[in-house]
Structure 1
Amino acid sequence: MRLCVLGAGAVGSAVVELAAEHGHVVTAFADSESAVVDADGIDADAVLSKKREEGVVGDADPESVFDADYDVLVEATPTTLGDAEPGFSHVERALADDRHVVLANKGPVAERYADLRALEAESEGTVRFGATVGGALPILSTIEDVGSSRVSAVYGVLNGTANFVLSRMAAEGLDYEHVLAEAQDLGVAEADPTFDVDGTDTALKGVIVANVLSDGETEYTLDDADVEGIQELSGSMLDLAAEDGQTIRLIVEVADGAVRVGPRLVPENGAVAPSGTENAVQIEADYCGRLGITGQGAGGPETASAVLTDVKRLAD
């Protein structure tokens, strides 16, 4: 498949780097200020080197990528809330041209799901977004394979930064601010970690799951989620939990038409108490019972692998 990749952050760059290994050709690549287009396929090493050294991917205008020869638009620009722009307009333009779309950007799926599906219905293109929930973990594809109507609940840990902070607080008896600073030093937390620690990122993923489970009957956005973060937790709270064989994790629960995110007591060595930056999700479904998925839910190559898995599904 010929790919047009929008976004030159960790995920978009990793897609460009890994595409050839998966049998695909990147014919267009853009960041917010520049683009490179080549019908025969861009030179990934040269372009990524240029981005690192000069801060741009090429000399063309970013808008030029939409005129390139491509089969799939990979939307990997930063997630935005509300109108989900500019990502939503990128998707709209690709679908209007009957191209497929694979999203790593959560905004259009979490904030404008009905609009997204309406555009898809009018296009010859298909939209896939497995990378928006759990990175490399096959959470949405598992729901798809089982059948959304058979899934009654999805719950667990879906943010690696928050999980790192809480697992370190529990293991070392340290306070929140100390561990958060450590996470930032290690590159596990962003300079502004608000979306991760206040529950917003987890809630966006929960909303996407809720939209998939609803299958068009009800549309969910971030405003529909009940969200509480981890900023007020102290080391002593985790110490008290440990005395009873429990710990605290930032848990998302999608069930009974509701999305809830907040710190929850869970068994210390249980299925939804992963360590470090891991994610862990439980899916409750008819006939299957409880399905568990655990692993790395974020990172450039990890999320890019989910993007490329979606591309493969389109090719098949």
Structure 2
Amino acid sequence: MNTLSRLWRLSTGRFGLIAVAVIGITAIASLFWTPFDPRSVDIAARWGMPGWPHLLGTDGTGRDILSLLMVGARTTILVAVGAGLVATAVGILLAALGALTPRWTREAVAVLIDILIAFPVLLIAMMISSVWGGSLWVVVWSVGIGFGVSIARVTRPELRRVRGSDYVLAGQASGLTALQNLRTHLLPNVAPVFIVQLSWSMAVAVLAEAGLSYLGFGASVTSPSWGLLLAELQQYLQIHPLSVVWPGLAITLTVLALNLLGDALREATDPTLRGRDAAPHGPRAIPHTTPGVVA
């Protein structure tokens, strides 16, 4: 049974897969079609209640909220995937340097990781954005590097633990280079821990983009973003509270789906957790009994 089948058997995996697929399909569909032009302003239709033809209502300028959410999904996908790729590259590089190099290099990398991890990711992103200006690429790189350091801190001890295993030593004895050993033996064995950290980083990247855009340090005003939409609608919360629900709900469901998908992937790929599926179930299971002590 492959990983996808095991993932689908888990309720958290099904929810995560379906939610992420819906968001991805929505982002792709918005490239070709939206119910209304998200940039179209219709003052006569402003603050429309959910119904037909505006299924989720309209904002203060008459723009269709559903169309804005569909276009904003593209930003969410870009930030999550981009920050995930950057975090993966930074995390693997630092973890490998901190676990597989000579002692003085390992100690220097460990100190560097401890220094970098002391700075909050959002603070770093705000500082960079204040210098280079708010843009999605600044958010992607700052969040990706920040969480790459966090991934390296968790993955490095796992790499050092696996490094002393018999199959790794056998690979070295057979002539495998350090890079080949890393790709063949080390990374697959730390993959469950890495996957959880990566999914969590992608989820927080979505939150970071929304928060930075809300504060004015993220996406520019011309870029579609759920955080920008939430910031625009928040000032009318007391008058039209329902309009704020939709972007907030989209952000919440996305973050929840990524977290649950990461947990399910860990359970589907970790051999120690998969072993539980092979245990007998149901009335035919043989109960495990411990013999009593004979006096």
Do both proteins adopt the same fold according to a TM-score greater than 0.5, normalized to the shorter chain? no
The structure with more helix, counted as a fraction of residues: 2
Give the strand-richer structure, 1 or 2.
1
Output the TM-score relative to the length of structure 1: 0.23
Rg (Cα) greater in structure:
2
Structure number with greater CO (CA < 8 Å, separation at least 6) is: 2
